[in-house]
């Protein structure tokens, strides 16, 4: 092992080891700089990285931690201190591999923790490959790039709804960073000004908890916004058995006109010639007030609207193909679908 690798982590559980170079030193050593196009921001303060990992709850030596976008490894070393049985790092930027390899040596040779590094895009990463069914409880932890955070969360929420990927076990939790506004939206309660599509679909399948905020000045380079840390716990009993894509579609339409009455966005699910009558009938069947604003709708009301829409398109399946931004003629939709 080289001289740098011989300096290991300090384990707070009692075993004392010489500390590694600081993240700031590693950034200088390997001449790393954040790339704006990849939404990279380094978190240098170990007190904050420890706080993020603490927000994930108890991590035992039987657990597995999967970290998204570890960068130079700030959060990684805080995870190592918790001594899980295995750590999986998924990092797209190969420039960080030398500093992560250093952590791998320390974790495996000194702490006896298996650490795997996967260089690639988390959006294409197959969790089932590295975490088969018989494996231990999984913690997903990450300082997410702002550019993919919402897309990644929606992908994982769909996995939660299908009990697939990293969510085949009911006790997989997520502890993730988001832009402050996005974090507030995920957790926004009924009537909150930030309540949106993301609030609804997150709260149907999970319990999101806003843990704390990190000021932008704690990151290098400093982002223009503060950051929120959210712990997301899948519900053992989801609030619906409707397909994720159907509920997401209905919710997206409702909130597409968030300042209008909720009937306005919902009505865009249907062609203009039947829009008004169909919307009126389905709101009556769902027992939802059509004059509420979208942010005033409860999860249960959105699910009732999703349910009546689901039943309606079973009777009129061609309506499921309708796109109000696309062709207006339903026959042309059917023709295009046959091509």
Local confidence band at 196 (pLDDT 50, 70, 90 cut-offs): very high
Local confidence band at 7 (pLDDT 50, 70, 90 cut-offs): very low
Q: What is the pLDDT of residues 32-89, one digit of tens each?
A: 565 554 456 778 788 999 999 999 999 999 999 999 999 888 999 999 999 999 999 9
Local confidence band at 299 (pLDDT 50, 70, 90 cut-offs): very high
pLDDT at site 106? 86
- Is 8 within the bounds of a domain? no
- 78 and 173 inside one domain: yes
- 167 and 118 inside one domain: yes
- 127 and 31 inside one domain: yes
Which of 234, 262, 282 terminates a domain? The answer is 234
- 214 and 334 inside one domain: no
By CB atoms closer than 10 A (0-12, 13-18, 19+), residue 206 is buried
Select the highest-mean-pLDDT range: 1-10, 28-37, 155-164, 222-231.
Answer: 155-164
- 213 and 264 inside one domain: no
Radius of gyration of the chain (CA): 23
Domain housing 58: 23-234
Q: What is the pLDDT of residues 128-146, one digit of tens each?
A: 888 876 678 999 999 998 8
Compare 223 and 246 and report the one with higher pLDDT. Answer: 246
Which of 180, 207, 234 terminates a domain? The answer is 234
Show the CA angle centred on residue 74, arms to residues 68 and 79, nearest 5°.
Answer: 70
- 158 and 27 inside one domain: yes
Q: Is the dihedral of CA 110, 115, 118, 122 positive or negative?
A: negative
Going by C-alpha positions, the residue among 314, 288, 284 that lies closest to residue 301 is 288
- Is 148 within the bounds of a domain? yes
- 204 and 63 inside one domain: yes
Going by C-alpha positions, the residue among 258, 239, 249 that lies closest to residue 309 is 249
Which of 184, 201, 234 terminates a domain? The answer is 234
Q: How many domains, in total, are found in the chain?
A: 2
Give the domain CATH number at 249.
Answer: 1.10.8.100
- Is 306 within the bounds of a domain? yes
pLDDT at site 15? 43
**pLDDT, average across residues 81-104:** 92
Q: What pTM did the predictor assign?
A: 0.87
CB atoms within 10 A of CB 171: 13
């Amino acid at each position: 092992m080289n001289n740098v690798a011989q300096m290991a982590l300090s384990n707070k559980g009692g075993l004392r080891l010489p500390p590694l170079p600081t993240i700031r030193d590693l950034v200088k050593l390997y001449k790393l700089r954040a790339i704006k196009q990849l939404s990279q921001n380094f978190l240098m303060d170990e007190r904050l990285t420890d706080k993020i990992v603490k927000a994930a709850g108890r991590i035992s030596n039987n657990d597995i931690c999967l970290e998204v976008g570890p960068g130079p490894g700030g959060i990684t070393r805080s995870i190592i201190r918790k001594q899980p049985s295995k750590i999986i790092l998924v990092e797209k930027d190969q420039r960080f591999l030398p500093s992560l390899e250093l952590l791998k040596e320390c974790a495996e040779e000194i702490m006896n923790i298996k650490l795997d590094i996967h260089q690639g895009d988390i959006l294409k990463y197959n969790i089932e490959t590295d975490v088969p069914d018989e494996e231990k409880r999984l913690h997903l932890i990450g300082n997410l790039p702002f550019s993919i955070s919402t897309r990644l969360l929606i992908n994982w929420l769909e996995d939660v709804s299908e009990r697939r990927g990293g969510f085949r076990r009911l006790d997989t939790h997520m502890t993730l960073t988001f832009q402050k506004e996005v974090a507030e939206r995920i957790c926004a309660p009924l009537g909150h000004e930030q309540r949106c599509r993301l609030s609804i679909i997150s709260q149907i399948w999970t319990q999101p908890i806003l843990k704390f905020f990190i000021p932008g000045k704690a990151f290098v380079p400093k982002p223009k916004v503060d950051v929120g840390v959210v712990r997301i716990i899948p519900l053992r009993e989801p609030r619906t058995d409707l397909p994720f894509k159907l509920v997401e579609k209905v919710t997206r339409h409702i909130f597409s006109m968030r300042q209008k009455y909720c009937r306005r966005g919902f009505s865009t699910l249907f062609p203009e010639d039947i829009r008004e009558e169909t919307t009126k009938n389905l709101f009556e069947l769902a027992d939802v007030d059509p004059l509420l604003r979208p942010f005033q709708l409860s999860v249960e009301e959105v699910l009732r609207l999703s349910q009546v829409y689901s039943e309606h398109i079973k009777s009129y399946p061609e309506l499921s193909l309708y796109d109000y931004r696309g062709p207006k003629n339903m026959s042309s939709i059917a023709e295009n679908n046959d091509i």
